[in-house]
Structure 1
Amino acid sequence: MKKLNELTKKRSIIKYLALIIGTACLFLTFVTPTRVVMIGSIYGDYMVLALSAMGVILSIISLKKELRKFLPILSLILSLSYPILVALWLILFFLG
């Protein structure tokens, strides 16, 4: 019984860590006062890209292990905010 409880705690930590990283990616990508993406410095882009990769990996791991899949799907969408921004930017650039 104790091992099952420890595994459940570890899964929930991964799920909430992915959600926190996804929220940070969203704020660093779209919210103007905290925006570090596409402002002229490549370091902000690399930082958000690394956070996005970590968030996607943790979201996929928690999607495979969790029964309730709402928070992992939400964290996956939030973690993909930088690629979504790039796709929107390219669409608007070419069709614009």
Structure 2
Amino acid sequence: MISTYVFGAIVLSALVTWVPRVLPFVLTRYKALPDLVVRFLSFLPLTIIFALTLSSVVSPKVGQLPKFLPIETIAVLPTFFLAAKTKNILLAVVVGVVLVAGLRFIF
């Protein structure tokens, strides 16, 4: 049997996860955001993808300059080119994964 403490922790965790994702939709359902906020939010997907990509390509060490990982850096260039040309993120992700797998297999 599940204890009330564990059940309460699961319910509280679900709420903490769910509320920040649903609350913005509820708050902006009937009221539009200012143009400045909409313009700012339009840049978020690009910056998030760049941050995730940079963290995958660079290997940081404390007290040293970051080093670029050679295989991942080589794979990023054609992947970005493909994403810019086709505007298809799913295809770019698949090509990037295949490129990294192929380069790791060769090297």
TM-score class, shorter-chain normalisation, is 0.3 to 0.5
Larger Rg: 2
The TM-score with structure 1 as length reference comes to 0.33
The TM-score with structure 2 as length reference comes to 0.31
Greater relative contact order (Cα < 8 A, sep 6+) = 1
